[in-house]
Structure 1
Amino acid sequence: MTANEIRQSFFDFFKEKQHTIVPSASLMPQSPGLLFTNAGMNQFVPYFLGTDKAPYDPARAADTQKCIRAGGKHNDLEDVGYDSYHHTMFEMLGNWSFGDYFKEQAIQWSWDLVVERWGFPADRLYATVYMPSEGDPGHFDQEAYDIWAKLFEGAGLDPKRQIVNGNVKDNFWMMGETGPCGPCSELHVDLTPEGDTDGKLVNMDSDLCIEIWNLVFIQYNAEADGSFRDLPARHVDTGMGFERACSIMQGTKNFTDFSQKPTNYATDVFQPIFRKLEQLSGKTYQDIYPESVDADKSQISPEMKEAIAFRVIADHIRTLSFSLADGILLGNTGRNYVLRRILRRAVRYGRTLGFTGETTFLPELVDTLVDQMGGIFPELVERRKAVKENLQREEASFNETLDRGLAMFESEVGNYQQVVGGEFAFKLYDTFGFPIDLTQLLCAERGLKVDMSKFEELMEQQRELGRQARTQALVRAADIATDAVTEFVGFEQDEVVTKVLEVHPQDDSLLVITDKTPFYVEMGGQLGDQGEMRCNGVIWPVASVQQLGLSRAHALPLEADVAVGDEVTLSLETMRRRRIEAHHTATHLLHWALHEEVSEDAAQQGSLVTRTRLRFDFNSGALTQDQIDAIELKVNDCIEAGDPVSWIEVPHEEVKGRKDIQQFFGDKYGELVRVVQIGGEEQSLDGYSMELCGGTHVRNTKEVGFFKIRSEGAIASGIRRIEAVCGEAAYSWLRKESEKNKVEEEELRSKLGTINQQLEELDQATVRYPDFPRIMVSLLMEGTFRQKNRVLKKSVEHMQGLRDVVIEAGKKLKKAQSGAAAKMADAALADVLLSDGPIVESFAGPANLLQELMNGLKKKQFAGAAFLIVDDGEKLHLGAFCGEDAKAKGLMAGKLIQELAPLAGGKGGGRPDQARGAAPERDQLDALKSAAEDKL
């Protein structure tokens, strides 16, 4: 059976047993204590705990669960590629009972599926049951033993041989120190050639005796005093390693040949990715393994290194693609950093296969994975484009630093004999983004170790610096200690006369602390202010401001003539501040409108407020266009109404818990909090929008100006982002969009005209399209907000209609051109196929002529070798074709393209029978033909 058939067979079996087949949960875990979803039971925990009732009738389910074990307690990362069965991402098949059936049915059905339906040899199966030692919880699982014994006896086998006692580590499951728990019963498969180990390899970490299925019987509750009591409702939680099941069934030729050790990587779970990697790299995968996972990596042969690289990349692309499809992005902390490490590890192993970093290769594997698994995991299909874009961006970024880091490593590693200094490892990490495991891998390949104690010491120093600098600093001030206090007067004043308290020269600036300031320091997503300081008749620019304890330091040029005790005037760049205030107030209106039009549960997850735009992150599903339009309209109605914007300081206890006042950070607020309200009466806390906020705002919503949402989209699983503009920034953006529309419309009309002309030449076809007057900016600058929105909406509809016309015309043109190219190809092949020898020919014509020529050779079952060149006037399009006779002589189309295309500055590749490429150097046509003739 294929992998897909095995998975479906599992589903079909349990569907017959009245299980509801449920989809896999996201890899983003529900539990805050997990990096990733790492077991099938994660999504069902509320049913086991009794906090939720299982929504299935009867209360039983089956599924396949995506799992990642690449960080934290469960971490298989370092074993990947070196053995046949460890993976960072794997599927866990499972069946579940929530207070419904228990041991007898669970064990009986596992036997029915594995032995009766799939055909596993019963004499190669070993079942483990729980046998506690003194002081361990529970008691010997006699019930499970008796059920297994009856099944083995029915197969003519001795239960004493086939049933193995397991200890608390292997055969007793606990959710935590307290809570649901119970004994486990596992199925292990003897994969030795003779199958006569009598269970001696069970739980001995041997790849010749693999655990395939674990049945957990949740029947106790662990109490805080260390005792165990029976649960009122007993549950079944099982997990089968999908890749392992495929490995055993396919690797033993359906249990007929145990001479070769089965491997997960030899199954059709991984083989399609290997084939694509072979095509991209020109190398061939060999299913060979080191003698042990802990093998000396410096002694591994080049062939072994390539095989490991194939396996690592195939494993890692699955982990990365599935995670990105679930909205888990690559980043610098937590699970996001684990994924970034995995990507960098894959890129590093890519160098072993000849990927130089000039182009990316990971995005090229995504389509293969989606085609293979998109049917069972539709999120891969839905997020294909986003997955590719993220991989492209991350791989390209890392390639830039990898080359420099590798060069540094090669130049300095020779200075070490046995242990590489932790300082050097930290430098690679800190400067070049090398995960420490990548440095360890590079060292291990040379028989070296890394001084990890020193590395960890330096890492802790860096963490401590991070803790000391929670906010972003635009200038370095870590060494400044001050007891000065600065009064902030910027809520009401743009300018203030103040006294200089302290002056601190820095490397590239002068930090001046004053007793008062109107300058807002960056916090809560609002950018800090800029402006100027006048001192002794001279004006100095203030580039930035930052918080130092209870004081605020202004960054001036290093040459500024300012001294302690000077009386200075601080003035804001008021236009910049006003635009920031407008965007900040618009953010509050947007938050309120989201609650009104989408959901009261749409809570803020982050924000940014600048003079040119605002960004607002919130938890929600995707918004519809109607919802976006309604939010825009609601905000603009409030702006047009001219509602007052006010604020009041009150004790936190007075507003704590009020659902009509948005509060985000709980105990992080001080005793006094500042509530910003829009609408209502001042000092009354009765506005329609009220939020705890320390930022600056306009005094009336009319000052915000026109509000326009530029984009709305997902940034993580369940997290959306809106970017918007208002006031002058909105008009500026609309002007640019209008100009863009004008240019695009002209381009579309021009393209449409060209297509019409070409169609007329081919089949006299014509296309009509509606005319539409161009949108002038003046229309947007006048009238009400509703009118502006209607104009924009009609503009968008018109542009989309024009695009649709062009697309349809383009399709018609392509079809006509394809037909013309096919006729050209038939005529050309009629001449060149007169002989049976190899074909090397060039043609002048459109690019699609090459594909028609290749199709023609295939249709005519051409058995020889051909190298075809089509010159379209801009570049050379190259095609290699190898029929059965040619392949029998060792010719491979993909390799022909890889060897010949560079002669004209090109590249390409493909399968052994057909391959394509392109080359820009048209003047090398004759040389290319000559070289092809020599090859063939």
Structure 2
Amino acid sequence: MPTAKEIRQEFIDYFVKEHGHTFVPSSSVVPVDDPTLLFTNAGMNQFKDVFLGTGSRPYRRAVNSQKCIRVSGKHNDLEEVGRDTYHHTFFEMLGNWSFGDYYKAEAITWAWDLLTRVWGIDKSRLHATVFAGDEKEGLEADEEAYRLWLELTDIDPNHVHRFGKKDNFWMMGETGPCGPCTEIHIDRTPDKSGRPLINRGDPRVIEIWNLVFIQYNRDETGHLHLLPAKHVDTGMGFERITAILQGKESNYDTDIFAPLIAALADLTGKRYRGSLTDLVDIGFRVIVDHIRMLTFAITDGALPGNKGRGSVVRGILRRAMRFGWEAFGLREPFLYRLVPVVVEHMGEAFPELRHQPLRVQEIVRREEEDFLRTIERGLRYFAQAVQRAQPISPERLATGEVPEGVRGMISGRDLFELHTTYGFPPDMTRQMARERGLLVDETEYTRLLAEHEEKSRGQPTAQQVALQVSGSLPPTDDRAKWFGLTGQGTVLGWIEDNRFVTTGRLEMRGEDAPLVGLVLDRTCFYAESGGQIGDRGYITTSTGTFEVGDTQQLGQTVVHLGTVTAGYLAPGQLARLQVDLIREFTRKNHTATHLLHWALRQVLGEHVEQRGSKVKPDGFTFDFSHTGPLRPEERFRVAELVNERIYQDLPVTWRELPIEQARKLPGVRAFFGDKYGEIVRVVEIGDGFSREFCGGTHVDHTGQIGPFVILSEEGLGKGVRRLTCATARQAVLAIQHQERLLSQLSGRLRCAPDELPQRLEALQEELKRLQQQLRRAASTDLQAAADRLFQEAEQCGGAKIIVGEVPAAPEEQMRQQVDRLRQKAGSAVVVLGWTDNGRVQLLAALTEDLVKRGLHAGQLLRQVAQVVGGGGGGKPHFAVAGGKDPSKLSDALQLARQLAQRQLATHQPT
């Protein structure tokens, strides 16, 4: 039986060695420069520019095994994952491509040859489908493919079938490249009677390979035009073909998943039996599937979060945890323990997994710890929501839209509470509801979510109040903002009392008068956007002066917020504009954010993405995705890289391009979720090492920025960090401040500044010595208490029951004492409890003979922990737990003694 590794390599070698293809490594599951996709979902994604005619490759034939994630959109089969044998969130797509080289004859011949000659699949079980045409679309049937199947292969002629557009015509999107496809299906019914089941979603007759013939381009009117070059794009699910070649009914029975299933069995003490209805078996499949998706997604830079792909990653992780909780009773982090299994068994095919596996583990573990704080309360709330569910109204039942078997509806408010208070992803709650025959009131949920988001924006500021105007406003030409601090424009009117005024005079008011929004036809003022604050300055006409305190954008209109400080202004007047010189410092800081973004990705990795910024004259903040604080050496290296680029005095340039053309620029940063127009501005530094979509103002050369320093770092939430930085004069002031602190510190420690590291190291060694003395004292006290408990232990059922309270000590010392007590007793139940920092800690252990008799430390301790208001558990031999009520510790230990007596009496030695 071939291994999965051999199957993957045989596919690649067949096309490389026998048919002259170039092996192309898998691209990241996080699409590069394609904001239209959350995740890479097909092998063709990395070649999309070739199909669109906007890019090229140095080869015309390609083959690879592409990492894919399908969890959203038309490919969203998340509900099925774990409940059948073949749906997955993460999978590999084996594929071969022709870019204007070979076409249908070769693709069909080679596919048949590989399946039947190389892999030896029974020809009588294979069926091919071809495009039957579509009169409505004016698409002809693919008679060529039908003929080639009969002429070039020895397939049974009765096994070539015609299907319509839904099954056998492939489209990249509403517009763009498209063409007919031919699919190869395998009949796995015992008597080969599966012909009627083709394309019916039956697991006994499944598609194994799709050969797409890209020959048309669909324009915006829907018309099809023949492409100048025809391409081939094929895809075959690796997990599916492996199951077939290994003779397995389920993908989960292959050696792709076997190591993960074995590892999860060791963690849980449960056995996988392959049932499609048993909760434990469903849990096995869900967890081993999801941990593969999580490991690959996080490795490639998709970190758990609340928006975009981050919310998908977090949702998948929490879905896996939910099955761990419900199917296996797991009450502590466990997913992170499976990450090394994924890395070990897939790291050879995908070496990027081996780069930072500990970082991936840490991210998963932290996410698990976060969700464990709310999952139990959330499940209780969900159970109450189920009890509150209302029957489906007769009117809605009459529409026929309610699925069969649905008996009620959970309120939208309950879905909202589970989402916002308990962290339950809405999709997870919906699935839990469906499992119980319930729907969710989506209308109420959508309304509550919209209200919540509106409240989250806060009350409007004075500036925002000035912008609350109904009706249309004239657009402003603000291109001059990129070229200087002065300009001219014509006064068109002003916003006042929620009205756009275009007649009369705008005169001086009292000091407490509200701000007014002045509108001109042209301006050189920068309106706040992209993290850069709005400009300040003065607008002067022949009759008056208007002081601008802020500049904001309202649609296509630039609004200058401020007051008249002299005379008056009137519509139609020519105005002179002067932006405050302080904007020069803002320009320096904005260019520095681009350099910082580049440097962070160089030092920390490609997972870093900008999450926000605030660019002001006196400095800036920069928010970015990362799992934890920067190490000192990382922070130093980031600042060093930024300053190196500044000192090189590199040119800073920009250009405006159509968005599709801009996205194809190498290394351009286009942020998923941002909204861009048809034309975008791209800011480049140097030779293009930094290239971003940006509408802000920048220096002409990096040397104009001056020195750069990182002032501070903080965490903003899960997976998001913030750096506060300064440049130019503010950076010099910060450096001087640090020098003063250094001088004060060296004075306190009575050493020269360059001797501070050695002095601090000496102090740390002294502290370590004192701590060791404390640990030795604690160890002595702990051993004395353990010896006392051993002497007081009662004998029951041929074993000692050693239960009692001990003084707090490090966990390692506790484990040593437990091992000592078990060894000394020979046969014993050991339960120790202690208080530490206001919390209860519990530990239980059994000797091997008692485990064989059927006793279980984890089950025993789980009941004991409930007495002190906590939870926990573990394996049969050893378990730990915690609680929050120290006053109940003696009661808990008494229960432990009683449970041990009961279990020893029940499970007598044989």
TM-score range, shorter chain: 0.5 to 0.7
State the 1:128 CA deviation: 1.9
SS of structure 1 residue aligned to 2:119: helix
Alpha-carbon distance in structure 1 between the residues aligned to 2:623 and 2:810: 48
Partner of 2:4: 6
1:930 aligned residue: 897
Correspondent of 1:522 among 524, 528, 536: 528
CA distance in 1, matches of 2:741, 2:453: 47
Seen in structure 2, the aligned counterparts of structure 1 residues 666 and 870 have a Cα distance that, compared at 3 Å, is closer
Contact 1:487-1:516 within 8 A present in 2 as well: no
Cα distance in 1 between the residues matched to 2:205 and 2:262: 29
Conservation of the 8 A alpha-carbon contact between 1:285 and 1:307:
yes
TM-score when scaled to structure 2?
Answer: 0.62
Secondary structure of 1:73's aligned partner? helix
Assess, with a 3 A threshold, how the Cα gap between structure 1 residues 907 and 613 changes in structure 2: closer, same or farther: farther
Q: Cα distance, 1:692 vs. partner? A: 12
Q: Which amino acid in the other structure matches residue 206 of structure 1? A: D
Distance 2:145 2:701 in 1: 75
Shift of 1:609: 0.5
Distance 1:87 1:615 in 2: 40
Give the structure 2 partner of residue 214 of structure 1.
Answer: 209
1:208, distance to aligned residue in structure 2 (A): 2.4
Equivalent residue of 2:753, what SS? Answer: coil
Query: Does 1:184 find its partner at 2:182?
Result: yes
Task: Say yes or no: does 1:39 pair with 2:42.
Answer: yes
- In structure 1, how many angstroms separate the alpha carbons of the residues matched to 2:131 and 2:699? 72
* Counterpart Cα distance in 1 of 2:13 and 2:460: 53
| Residue matched to 1:684 | none
Following superposition, the deviation at residue 206 of structure 1 comes to 0.9
Secondary structure of 2:31's counterpart equals coil
* Alpha-carbon distance in structure 1 between the residues aligned to 2:153 and 2:202: 23
* Structure 2 segments unaligned to the other structure (5+ residues): 135-139, 397-408, 500-511, 538-546, 571-579, 626-632, 671-675, 905-910
**Contact 1:613–1:724 (CA under 8 A) maintained in structure 2:** yes
1:128 & 1:803 partners in 2: Cα distance? 76
**Deviation digits for residues 878-935 of structure 1 (CA, Å, limit 9, x no counterpart):** 6555566434432234333433455566654333444445678596496476246424
Q: Which residue of 1 aligns with 2:434?
A: 444
Offset at residue 214 of structure 1 (A) = 0.5
Say if 1:863 and 1:736 are closer, same or farther in 2 by CA, change over 3 A. farther
Deviates more, 1:274-283 or 1:898-907: 274-283
* Alignment match, 2:81: 80
Which is worse superposed, 198-207 or 515-524?
515-524
Secondary structure of 1:204's partner? coil
| Distance 1:222-1:880 versus aligned 2 partners, 3 A rule | same
Match of 1:752 in 2: none
CA distance in 2, matches of 1:85, 1:691: 41
Structure 2 counterparts to residues 19-30 of structure 1, below 5 A? 19=17, 22-29=24-31
Residues 123-202 of structure 1: matches in 2 within 5 Å? 125-130=125-130, 132=132, 135-145=140-150, 148-149=153-154, 159=156, 163-169=159-165, 172=168, 174=170, 176=172, 179=177, 181=179, 183-190=181-188, 192=189, 194-197=190-193, 199-202=195-198
- Contact kept? 2:710, 2:726, Cα under 8 Å: yes
Does the CA contact (< 8 Å) of 2:519 and 2:557 recur in 1?
no
Kindly, what percent of the aligned residue pairs are identical?
26
Call closer, same or farther: CA 1:861–1:377 in 2, change over 3 Å: farther
CA distance in 2, matches of 1:929, 1:465: 50
Aligned AA (2:66): Q
**Alpha-carbon deviations, 1:366-408, whole Å to 9, x = none?**
4554455445434444354257437846984897799498599
Match of 1:848 in 2: 812
- Asked if 2 retains the 8 angstrom alpha-carbon contact of 1:325 and 1:387, the reply is no
Structure 2 residue 646 is matched with structure 1 residue 635: yes
Preserved contact between residue 828 and residue 850 of structure 2 (Cα < 8 Å): yes
Determine the C-alpha separation between the residues in 1 that align with 2:696 and 2:176. 45
1:668-683 aligned at under 5 Å gives the runs none
Match of 2:137 in 1: none
Partner of 1:610: 616
The 1:727/1:585 distance shift into structure 2, 3 A limit, reads closer
Ranges in structure 1 where 5+ consecutive residues have no aligned partner: 151-158, 256-261, 291-302, 532-540, 557-561, 568-576, 679-688, 750-770, 776-793
Contact persistence 1:331–1:340 (CA under 8 A): yes
1:725 corresponds to: 726
Distance 1:667 1:484 in 2: 20
State how far apart, in whole Å, the 1-side matches of 2:198 and 2:826 are.
53
SS at match of 1:65: strand
Question: 1:235 and 1:413, CA in 2 relative to 1: closer, same or farther beyond 3 A?
Answer: closer
Distance in 2 between residues matched to 1:320 and 1:651, nearest whole Å = 37
Match of 1:377 in 2: 350
Question: Using the alignment, how far apart are the partners of 1:201 and 1:328 within structure 2?
Answer: 38
Match of 1:264 in 2: 251
Does the Cα contact within 8 Å between 2:790 and 2:821 map onto a contact in 1?
Answer: no
Larger mean CA deviation between 902-911 and 719-728 belongs to 719-728
Provide Cα deviations, 1:644-690, integer angstroms capped at 9, x if missing partner.
x9x9xx999xxxx9x9xx999897699xx9x9999xxxxxxxxxx99
User: For residues 683-732 of structure 1, what are the alpha-carbon distances to aligned partners after superposition, in whole Å with 9 as ceiling and x for unaligned?
Assistant: xxxxxx999998789999999775214699999xxx99986323675467
Q: Deviations over 1:588-646 (max 9, x none)?
A: 367589999999xx999875303664256999xx999778525315637979xxx9x9x
| Partner Cα distance (2:167, 2:863) in 1 | 57
Paired residues in the alignment total 776
AA aligned to 1:214 is W
One-letter amino acid matched to 1:527:
I
Q: Answer yes or no: is the 8 Å Cα contact 1:597–1:630 preserved in 2.
A: no
- Listed one character per residue, the Cα deviations across residues 79-113 of structure 1 (whole Å, up to 9, x for unaligned) are 33333322232222345566476543432222244
Residue identity matched to 1:111: T
Higher relative contact order, chain-length normalized (CA < 8 Å, sep 6+): 2
> Offset at 1:32?
5.4
CA contact (8 A) 1:96 1:235 kept: yes
2: CA distance, partners of 1:280 / 1:744: 50
Task: Return the alpha-carbon distance in structure 1 between the equivalents of residues 128 and 477 of structure 2.
Answer: 71
Greater shift, 15-24 or 358-367, is seen at 358-367
Query: Is the contact made by 1:343 and 1:395 (CA closer than 8 Å) also made in structure 2?
Result: no
How far residue 148 of structure 1 moved from its aligned partner, in angstroms, is 4.7
For the residues of structure 1 that align with 2:235 and 2:460, how far apart are their CA atoms?
Answer: 44
1:124 deviation in Å?
7.5
In structure 1, the partner of 2:112 is: 107
Question: How large is the Cα RMSD of the aligned pairs?
Answer: 7.2
Decide whether the 8 Å contact of 2:119 with 2:245 is kept in 1.
Answer: no
| Match in the other structure for 1:708 | 709
Could you tell me whether the CA contact under 8 Å between 1:578 and 1:698 is conserved in 2?
A: no
C-alpha contact 1:869 1:879 (8 A) present in aligned 2:
yes
Quick one: structure 1 residues 849 and 10, their matched pair in 2 at CA, closer, same or farther if it must change by over 3 Å? same
SS of residue matched to 2:363: helix
**Rounded Cα–Cα distance in structure 1 between residues aligned with 2:485 and 2:227:** 65
Deviation, structure 1 residue 585: 2.0
